Chain A
Amino acid sequence: MHEPQLVRLTAAAASMALEHARLQAEVQAQLEQVRASRARIVEAGDAARRRIERDLHDGAQQRLVTLSLALGMARGQVAGSDPGLAALLEGASKEAREAIAELRELARGIHPAVLTETGLPGAIQALVERSAVATTVSAVPAGRYPAPIEATAYFVVSEALANVAKHAPSATAHVAIRQPAGQMVVEITDEGQAGRGPTRDRGCAGWRPGRVRGGTLHIESGMGGGTRLRAEIPCP
């Protein structure tokens, strides 16, 4: 081979390698930007949910309670003198009561105040108290963590319990949240429904194994029909 040709080929190869490295670095940089912007979007979403919950509480809920009190006072004043009006006011009071209860559920679904105020132990306890399936909790870290991490762990448990309730309503669910170095690991297991094999649809429609907030989500269906859901969330 002539030397000039060798030089040309070497130069071409080198420039290809350089170009490759440059493109790779560019892709990597773009990926980092996408990751960062995804994290920002998620965090902005969390903050917005907390704000909406607070606005609902300090605005609409507060007004409805005031309205209820006014209706209660009005009922007291007409008591005995106008049965028709009393019945009307009673009906209005009942509507206000139900609106308050519905608003409370709506607000907690958007973002539970108990999570912001007391952290994971109180919030997980609240989930267990309202879970439609029997649920036991074996571990929840007592400390406070960055809000997005607490919120992710909370919503993973919330969704997983709703899923067990839907697909194995007579099962017992077990919740464990542990915090090994650098991670928060959320596990929800259930032993499944008697008579249901692992081949049956186990639900989890919105639960593709994959990523949760920069972490991973695994779902395993056991032979007995039970399910183990494990989320690993990076936690500095």
Chain B
Amino acid sequence: MYLSPSRITLGVFVLLLALSPVAALAQESADAAGGAIDATDAVEETIEVKRPDLKEPKHTSLKFLRDNRVFLRSQLDRLRLQVTRERGDGAVILDERYLRLEEMSAAIAAACDTVRSGQELAARRDLMESVTQLGEMEGELTLMETLVAEQQRRLLALEKDFLGHQETALVIVVRGLSGKGAPASIEIAEENEVVRVDLTREQQRSLEQGGIAQVFHEFVEPRAHTLAVSFAGSSWAGAAPLSVTVETTRDRLTFLELDLSRLDPNQPTLGLLTSTWYR
């Protein structure tokens, strides 16, 4: 069948006319959906103060409680709650390189400085002794620039891992038990909250061989925390809790390292080394 160009043009025009309402409807739907998304994005919260509507219940409930609320409240006021959370997964032995991230960051920064000083030195050279030396210098600079670019890429990746959407959190790691009997469990208490981490025999052996254990990783309030750290186990019986203060920074990951290498279970008040760093 042969269709003339004029017929084809007419056909396309008719088809466009027929589809235009559908297209308009689709556009409206899309606009409406877009509007809904915008409305969700632009949530405004307002605060209005009102008095509660006090409705008398149809059926009396909890009558004794209501009649004796003063007595019951006075009894409850004499209590305090102690919350103990027991971690099922126990302690986690860490790769020591994980703790060297700060050193790595410093090394990267040092490399950047080296490259920068090399560039400055090259810029200060007034006269090249030969064209060949000039070519070598250019090659060296290109290599250094490549190194800088790679280091910057690594640094960005590290920053993304540790700084992206970071909330205030505290990580406590324990080390320095090489050659000593590792405790069976470690308790970290703050006010009325206690976290107890039981160490498996395998984890104890790892610590005794110089390993490092992460015993705590929680979101915390950004403030100064005074923690009572205590150890339990055959060689740690009777050891008094140690007080450690750490300041957690808002939206940063705070690492607290407890170095027990100089700690004597018989004289626990002496010898606990701590260090703190942030990511």
The yes or no verdict on A and B being binding partners is no
> A-contacting residues of B (Cβ < 8 Å)?
none
